[in-house]
A and B are shown apart, each in its own frame.
Chain A
Amino acid sequence: MRGLTASLTIIIIGILWAIPLYVLIIGSFKNISEVLTTPIFLPSERPDFYTLLKTGSSMTDPLINTIIEVIPAAFISTILGSLSAYAFHRFTSKIKDIILIIIAIATYIPYQSIMVPLAIFIRSLGLYDTVWGVLIAFIILYIPIASLLMTIFMSSVPRDLIHAAEVDGASEFTIFRRVVLPILGPGFTSTVVFLVIQAWNNFFVPLILVRGYEKHVTLKVFSYIGQSGNLYNEMFSAALIASLPPLIIFISMGRYFIRGLLTLGMGGR
């Protein structure tokens, strides 16, 4: 009986989640006349790939730009985050506690509230309206959360291992690279995946830091919202294409991602 209730609950929640996805997918396969005449929940009678191909070709540049911004940003933030997490793990002092608190605050502050100074900073670097500006902004925004996540993962690294490496004569950098980082593998991967998805879906940061619609997929999707009525088949096609890369990353890395989350759930053990 309890098993049945649980299954039913899961099915209902699953359906609720699937509805928008369903609408998105069937919408992408409608042509212009169907969009205007058929109800939004009804699938097309003659699926039409033209819209998907048309938006797909115009999505190439935004996709490449987004990859250039997102992948390095996620990696660099996570590497810097794990370096700081290692430093926290190694050294105990009052300053460490203060820095950790600052990081926690930085993580929970809504990033919109620091966008103006960040935009001024990016402009002063001469990187306004470039993918590099967005890339640097992402790194700055994601370092705190990366540090925090990696600090939690770091607590699963036995201190004895680090001490053993020290006695074995390894330098701090060697200890980090040869002993700590391999053990952190799943945690590192899940942090990277998390940040890739976060940055990929981010709309506000590119909106402020670049002109036009070509430098981030979310902007491109947004560009299909017309001022006088929406052609939702094109918008849905664009959204479908835009959401595929993070989906692929999540599915291929999901195993590590979940293992990492489990580590978090067990208090980093």
Chain B
Amino acid sequence: MTEIIVENISKRFKNFEALKKISFKVSSGDFFVILGPSGSGKTTLLRILSGIERPDEGRIIIDEEVVVDVKKKIFVPPQKRKVGMVFQSWALYPNMKAYDNIAFPLRVMGLSKEEIEKRVKEVANVLGISDVLEKYPSQLSGGQQQRVALARALVKQPKLLLLDEPFSNLDARIRITAREYVKKIQRELGITTILVTHDQADAFAVGDKIMVIRSGVIVQIGTPQELYEYPMDLFVADFIGEPPINIIKIFREDPLVKILNIDPKQYEEDIIYIGFRPGDIEILRESEKCIETFIEHSEYQGVRNLSIGNIVGERRIKLVTEKFLKPGERICIKPIKIHIFNHDGRRIDTIQSK
């Protein structure tokens, strides 16, 4: 059982501050997802955890062993960290067959031939790649390559498994099954896992906990539900959820103030932003307290149908409804759950009606 503690990790590349005093903790056996847009420093953080990169500042503890402490000049090289890593590019050794790729970490450890064979076969069996062991990486499909890479990371029974964008090189269909088996294997082995992704769907599919990071700073850490239902700020609110949340800027004399009964004044702001999920709405018959919406465009998708509507002040909103709304229709909507953000984007209130 492995607990990971990260304290005050900072990293600079020339003039670019990739990470700024990052601190967090991963509980033993957790599937922890680091979610952020490109350039947010998430991959750098993963590389620091694996030991490929050295931080400029901070401390990392993996299973009660200090692997990095910049102040005390402690740096445990990647070879000795007992971590397994799957790279975005898979990084399979092109000159070795799948079997030798998986066996590589064990050969380096100096295990006996029989032991290596036993362990490679075992992990290949779990991942369902027993029949491709004699093939070279270039002869494998994307999904198989990923499984081989995962097998290579798991075969040495690491304390910590690191996954760098493991699904981004897979096409949409395989991606869903890949998420499923990665999650399943992680749960079965109970191995502490940190996954880095820019795709919120990946994060939601596998994560027990998600850490959102932006420009080298942690924005929010929480379970998928917490992030979705109580985003800390506009960034998280906008980043999470598909289709994305509707964000509307409200000024003091806005006609919406009366309709929604939300006034920037009561928060002592000149402007506020309100956010509501496309699905968190009710469609009402004519009523005073609803937003009149002209449907401009709609897509029939089956169970949930997406429409784009135009509301007062030429503002566009996205709606997700069970009923298919025809373009040109005029409806009246009422958001059920509204997040309120102050002028610099921090969430200050959430109003839930009935």
Contacts and interface: CB of A to CB of B under 8 A. Distances in A.
A167 B153 CA distance: 9
B16 to A, nearest CB: 15
B78 A158 contact: no
B104 interface: yes
Interface string A168-195: 1111001000110011000000000000
Interface in A18-66: none
A160 B152 contact: no
Given A168-B104, A168-B105, A171-B79, A163 B156 contact: no
Contacts of A178: 93, 104
B50 interface: yes
A171 B104 CA distance: 12
Contact of B89 (A160, A171, A182): A160
Contact of B79 (A170, A182, A183): A170
Interface stretch (B18-26, B80-88, B177-185): B80-88
A178 B108 CA distance: 10
B51 interface: yes
Contacts of B94: 183
A169 B109 contact: yes
Nearest to A182: B95
Most buried by B among A158, A169, A178, A182: A169
A163 B104 contact: no
Contacts of A170: 79, 104, 108
A188 to B, nearest CB: 13
B77 interface: yes
Contact of A167 (B50, B89, B95): B50
Contact of A183 (B81, B95, B152): B95
A164 interface: yes
A174 B47 CA distance: 21
B346 to A, nearest CB: 38
B104 A160 contact: no
A178 B88 CA distance: 22
A161 interface: yes
Interface in B152-179: 152-153, 156
B91 interface: yes
B52 interface: yes
A165 B93 CA distance: 9
B91 A166 contact: no
A197 to B, nearest CB: 27
Contacts of A174: 108
Interface bin, chain B: 20 to 34
A179 B105 CA distance: 12
A165 B100 CA distance: 13
A167 B108 contact: no
A4 B35 CA distance: 60
A166 B89 contact: no
Interface string B39-69: 0000000010011100000000000000000
Interface in B120-156: 152-153, 156
B287 to A, nearest CB: 59
Nearest to A181: B95
B52 A158 contact: no
A166 B104 contact: no
A158 B89 contact: yes
B95 A168 contact: no
Contact of A163 (B81, B87, B95): B87
Contacts of B52: 163, 166-167
A179 B107 CA distance: 13
Nearest to A179: B93
B89 A169 contact: no
Contact of A164 (B77, B85, B95, B109): B85
Contacts of B83: 167
B84 A167 contact: yes
Contact of B78 (A160, A166, A182): A166
Contacts of B153: 167
Contact of B105 (A158, A163, A169, A183): A169
A248 to B, nearest CB: 28
Nearest to B155: A168
A168 B78 CA distance: 8
Contacts of A167: 50-52, 78-79, 81, 83-85, 153
A170 to B, nearest CB: 5
B108 A168 contact: yes
Contact of B91 (A160, A169, A171, A182): A160
Nearest to A174: B108
Contacts of A161: 91, 93
Contacts of A164: 85, 87, 91, 93, 152
Nearest to B80: A169
B156 A168 contact: yes
A170 B109 CA distance: 8
B77 A166 contact: yes
Counting chain B CB atoms within 10 Å of each CB, the highest count among A167, A169, A183 belongs to: A167
Contacts of B105: 168-169
B40 to A, nearest CB: 20
A-B pairs with the 4 shortest C-beta distances?
A: A182-B95, A164-B91, A160-B91, A168-B105
Given A164-B93, A167-B83, 11 more contacts: A160-B89, A160-B91, A163-B47, A163-B85, A164-B85, A167-B50, A167-B85, A167-B153, A169-B80, A170-B79, A170-B104
29 contacts: A158-B91, A160-B87, A160-B88, A160-B91, A161-B91, A163-B50, A163-B52, A163-B85, A164-B87, A164-B91, A165-B93, A166-B77, A167-B50, A167-B51, A167-B52, A167-B78, A167-B79, A167-B81, A167-B83, A167-B85, A168-B105, A169-B156, A170-B79, A178-B93, A178-B104, A179-B93, A182-B93, A182-B95, A183-B95
